[in-house]
A and B are shown apart, each in its own frame.
Chain A
Amino acid sequence: MTTWKETLKDEMPAELAQEIDTFETQIGLKKQGKIDDKLFAETRLRRGAYGQRYDNGQRHDGVETRELHYPTAATKGPDTLWDAPGMMRIKIPFGGMNAEQMDVMADLAEEYSDAICHVTTRQDIQLHYIHIDDTPDLQRRLAAVGITTREACGNGVRNVTACPISGVCNDESFDVTPYSKAMAFFLLGHPDTQDFGRKFKVAFSGCKGKACGLTNIHDLGFIARKKMVDGEEKRGFEMYVGGGLGAVPYEAKPFDEFVPETEILPLAQAISRVFARLGEKRNRGRARIKFLIDKIGIDEFRRLVLAEREILPHDERWTGYLDDVRAWEETPVKEPAELTTGVSDAQFETWRATNIYRQKQKGYTTVTVALPLGDLTSWQMRQLADIARKYCGDNVRLTVEQNIVLRWVAEADLPAVYRELEHVGLAQPGAGTIFDVVSCPGTDTCKLGISSSRGLAGELHERLATRYQQFDSAIQGLRIKISGCFNSCGQHHLADLGFYGVSRKVGGRTVPHFRVVLGGQWENNGGSYGLTVGAVPSKRVPDFVDRITEKYLAEREGEQESFQAFIQRFGKRELKKVLDEFSAVPPYEMDPSYYSDWRDPREYSITDIGVGECAGEVVSRIDFDLQNAERLYFEAQLQHEEGNYQKADETAFQAMVVAAGGLVRLENQDVPDEADKVVPEFRKRFYDTGLFHDKYAGGKFAEYLFNRYEDTNREYTADKVRLLLEETQLFIEAAHACNTRLIEQASAERKAKLDKD
């Protein structure tokens, strides 16, 4: 039988191929019950395989909660059924895609998902309704075109985002693209980013004044700056930390007004270490870095980071990437050409007015392909790939407004590009306007969703699109962003009109509502957050949008008053009055439509809300190391069965080294998984101290490792290797036991300290 693994073996980078093989083995081990649920959940999350609504096997069908009778009762995480479909998040660093990658994305959506590619608010692509067993092949096909899903979810560094017009922008200091790329791959899988209590998001902006990379809402944000140093212009970044949305939004705090380009990677590494060491691990709601910074203060945080920076072991990559930065360039497929002749097509002109950005490179434009709700079909993705090949080459980016931009399109080609986009249903005008509504998945697929953000977004999109031309330009330019819950994946805090899902009890029934957040600032990198006012029933939100926009138009103080300024002037008290016009919910008997959500006729219920996986599972690095050791041991067994004794022997030894290395790194995190480094450290820290000793067997299990390490004259016979396999198993068990003892000891010490205090 042909397999993707075999078919693509020469096309995948070896490291990615190995990682995916490892994941596939872990899936196999989980099926055999050899990996704990929590550990496997975090493992798959770190491979981008996320849970979806109803994956606990229960669904409210409008009348009652019923069981979904999947074929097996197996699980892939706590309360997460194996057969329940999940979401695959595919991280696209800085949103950059090429045509070949777009083709593959289209194929994957068609074959494993539902033929829809969904662009997220963090420049990822998400595919839904995917079976976990399909994920290794899906990842292989991505790897073959240079995409990894590693750390797309879970408690790690998420997709590194960047301004989608960086490099072609008229306002930027310089192109941040190669920096964001370097950061993404430096932090990817970095040992210092494996022990976070929560996710960590990084963004790059080319300028300060536009929305650009939204650095203000990120854990770590970089804004490009140039500075004269000794008469020479130097590149660097204004660096921010501790921003974030969610239920408790924080604006990022300035860390340094100018970090030289040579320092951004080591500082990010130092921050990772501080976050891993001091960040909250138990209380998930307080585990983001923003809470740590809030707790200890930005000055103390900065001091800790700089101290950590001083002791970091040198890494060539810190500055090695600068060669790539200097060499970075994008190649257009067409010569620059301005559009000199008039185009007598009103629809084209409408589209051109909102979807075109004139690049700083004369004769070139960036075209925004506005995607309704961030969705496009597999067929559209392929056609768009062809349009890109023809007009702009591999210069395609995803945007945080769930759109796609084609960069380096010759201005003279715009009429042709428009016609071709129109032909494939992708010439929707109004990019970045009131009907280009942004929405997270909400109750459609998200386990945390409270209200149907996509249902509301779809409704608003439809209604506003038909009336767009009649709106005053002040209204046309407003932004609407919707989240299904308070976690803010739809970035509602930054919108003129933001909404997030909540519920209310009315007459004993539950009614979907949206809380209204007004006057957020999109510009200035998401410069300030909106004012949260009351909640309106879901079904009244479109009417509320009409009312508040009419009011703004009628009562603003001159044409210069922005919506944001109007909201601030108008004040909460007056806003409440407007809101009250829409807040009443008629009794169910009078109008049952209020009691179901947009585009979901089931009587509304919040019983489907599950435990989200945004937070991942708190699994420390030692757990992953021990899991890795188990996997290697398993592989060694297979190699032994296949008669490959030398390989089995080496793999088994490696398993012991990995387990020992995990323990060693509890005390010294800079030790790599090399036997010559791990074994002496292990001997010193765990054997000589007696920490590893078993109550009855003493240091016997550790000696298995030492004996194999010191045996330079191995014989690779079936019996000898079988013996080593048995020793390996005992060693790994002893490592688990040692880890447990250490955890219990630490816990007892904490308790004693608390008692004493």
Chain B
Amino acid sequence: MITDLHRIGIKFLTARGDDIPLTDFIPIFHAWIQEGKLEDVMIDVAEYSHVPAGPGTMLIAHEGNYAIDETGNRRGFVYYSKQEVSGDNLADRLAVVCRKNLAACKLLEAEDTFKDRLAFDFGRIEIFFNDRLNGPNSDETWQAFEPVLKSFMARLYPNTDFEARYETGDPRERFSVSVSLQDDAASAEDLLARL
């Protein structure tokens, strides 16, 4: 049942910055831990630059994992929850996960190291479920999730058209939906204000 889902992930693809070495993110994440920049209990940095199309450089937290991620050969910033997420329903929980991701993206874009070199396209979003029990990669999940997605997107981008694309593809892969906006995307700050 997707109503029981808590292992939710959101990825914002990069608008620029794909050429920045993954190892350049290591000191940034360490500094975030040092300075307590994020609301989660941040634990450590894990580095997988040696693995192609992998989870990249990760900031491991108790509540979930943050990463400059290259899964699917698409670089973006990802956050996925590994614990129960607050919220009465899936749309609320999705908003919590999204808010955490946006907060990290905003910080990253503001880092001096990446000034003018790194930006995220908040109009290109991937949403996925790390839970094959409650959210298998199937049309049924998509049918159940589509109204939730609409409700969530109405909050994130009110009065803006978007296109959601779900393809089962390899059924073993986790359930994943790509969302793209018809109009220009908002900034992380604006989106955070809406959540």
Q: Give A residues with C-beta under 8 Å from B.
A: 1-4, 7, 53-54, 59, 61-63, 68-71, 83-85, 103, 106-107, 110-112, 114-116, 128-129, 131, 372-373, 375-377, 379-380, 382, 425, 444, 455, 458, 461-462, 599-602
Beta-carbon contact of B26 and A85 below 8 Å: no
Given A68-B62, A112-B82, A602-B30, 14 new contacts (CB under 8 A): A1-B4, A2-B1, A2-B4, A61-B30, A110-B130, A111-B174, A115-B55, A129-B43, A372-B50, A425-B53, A444-B47, A458-B49, A458-B50, A599-B23
Tell whether, in the assembled complex, residue B50 and residue A107 are in contact, meaning their CB atoms are under 8 Å apart: no
**A107–B173 CA distance with the chains assembled, in angstroms:** 8
Name the contact of A69 in the complex, choosing from B30, B41, B83, B174 (C-beta under 8 A): B41
- Name the B residues within 8 Å of A59 (CB-CB): 33, 43-44
Contacting pair B54 A599 (CB below 8 A): no
Taking a contact as CB atoms under 8 Å apart, the answer to whether B48 and A600 are in contact is no
| Residues of chain A lying within 8 A (CB to CB) of residue B30 | 61-62, 600-602
Bound CA span A727–B68, Å: 59
Chain A residues in 8 Å Cβ range of B131: 111
A residues in contact with B141, CB < 8 Å? none
The proximity string for B residues 122-156 relative to A, scoring 1 for CB distances below 8 Å and 0 otherwise, is 00000000111110000000000000000000000
Contact A377 B55 (CB under 8 A): yes
Q: How far is the CB of A743 from chain B (nearest CB, A)?
A: 38
Q: What distance in Å separates the Cβ of B40 from its nearest Cβ neighbour in chain A?
A: 10
User: Pick the contact of A71 from B46, B62, B130, B133 — CB < 8 Å?
Assistant: B62
Instruction: Give A599 to B43 CA distance when docked, in angstroms.
Output: 16
Q: B52 to A68, Cβ gap below 8 A? A: no
Partner pick for B43 among A63, A68, A110, A425, CB 8 A cutoff: A68
Contact between B55 and A116, CB atoms less than 8 A apart: yes
Q: List A contacts of B83 (CB < 8 A).
A: 131
B11 proximal to A (CB < 8 A): no
Q: Which residues from B are CB-within-8-Å of A115?
A: 54-55, 71
Query: Are B4 and A601 in contact (CB-based, < 8 A)?
Result: no
Residues of A within 8 A of B51 (CB): 116, 372, 375-377, 380, 425
CB-based nearest A residue for B27? A601
Chain A residues within 8 Å of B4, by CB: 1-2
CB distance from B154 to the nearest CB of A (A): 28
List 26 A–B pairs whose Cβ atoms lie within 8 Å, in order of A's numbering: A1-B4, A69-B41, A70-B41, A70-B62, A83-B41, A83-B62, A106-B172, A111-B7, A111-B174, A115-B55, A116-B54, A129-B43, A375-B51, A377-B48, A377-B54, A377-B55, A379-B71, A379-B173, A380-B51, A382-B170, A425-B52, A458-B49, A458-B50, A462-B50, A599-B23, A602-B30
For residue B58, CB closer than 8 A to chain A, the reply is yes
How many whole Å from A35's CB to the nearest CB in chain B? 23
* Interchain CA distance A129-B97 in the complex, whole Å: 19
Nearest first, the 5 closest Cβ-Cβ pairs linking A and B are A425-B52, A372-B50, A601-B27, A61-B34, A377-B54
Q: Which of A68, A106, A375 contacts B50 (CB 8 A)?
A: A375
Interface size on B, residues (CB 8 A): 40
* B14 contacts A by Cβ under 8 Å: no
Name the distance in Å between A106's Cβ and chain B's nearest Cβ: 8
The residue on A at minimum CB distance from B65 is A114
Q: How far is the CB of A607 from chain B (nearest CB, A)?
A: 15
Question: Is residue B177 contacting chain A, with contact meaning CB distance below 8 A?
Answer: no
B94 within 8 A of A: no
**Cα of A74 to Cα of B53 in the assembled complex, Å:** 37
Residue of B nearest to A454 (CB): B47
* Residues from 48 to 103 in B contacting A, C-beta threshold 8 Å: 48-55, 58, 60, 62, 65, 71-72, 82-83
- CB pair B48–A116 under 8 Å, yes or no, is yes
Q: Are A458 and B47 in contact (CB under 8 A)?
A: yes
The residue in chain A whose Cβ has the minimal distance to the Cβ of B53 is: A425
A377 to B7, CA, bound (A): 18
Chain B residues in 8 Å Cβ range of A3 = 133
Q: Which residues of B contact A69 (CB under 8 A)?
A: 41
Residues of A contacting B47 in the complex (Cβ-Cβ under 8 angstroms): 444, 455, 458, 599
Name the B residues within 8 Å of A4 (CB-CB): 133
Query: Which residues of A have CB within 8 Å of B55?
Result: 114-116, 377
A84 contact set on B, CB distance < 8 A: 43
A1 touching B1, Cβ below 8 Å: yes
Q: How far does the alpha carbon of A168 sit from the alpha carbon of B129 in the complex, in Å?
A: 41
Name the one of B33, B46, B52, B174 contacting A110, with C-beta atoms under 8 angstroms: B174
**Whole-angstrom CA separation of A376 from B49 in the bound complex:** 11
Tell me how far the C-beta of B194 lies from the nearest C-beta in chain A, rounded to whole angstroms.
Answer: 28
* Distance between A463 CB and nearest chain B CB, rounded to angstroms: 12
- Residues 12-40 of B at the A interface (beta carbon under 8 Å): 23, 26-27, 30, 33-34
Indicate which residue in B44, B50, B134, B172 contacts A103 across the interface (CB closer than 8 Å): B172
A367 CA / B33 CA spacing, docked (Å): 42
Note all chain B residues with C-beta closer than 8 A to A61: 30, 33-34
Q: Which residue of A lies closest to B49 (CB)?
A: A458
What is the CB-to-nearest-CB distance from B1 to chain A, in angstroms, rounded to a whole number?
A: 7
Expressed in whole angstroms, the Cα–Cα distance for A602 and B30 within the complex equals 7
**A382 lies within 8 A of B54 (CB):** no
A449 to chain B, nearest CB (A): 12
Given that A54-B43, A379-B71, A601-B26 are known contacts, is A129 also in contact with B60, CB under 8 Å in the complex? yes
User: In whole angstroms, how far apart are the Cα atoms of A377 and B43 in the complex?
Assistant: 21
A237 to B41 Cα, complex, angstroms:
53
CA distance A600 to B57 in the complex (A): 12
CB closest chain-A residue, reference B54: A377
A373–chain B nearest beta-carbon distance, Å: 6
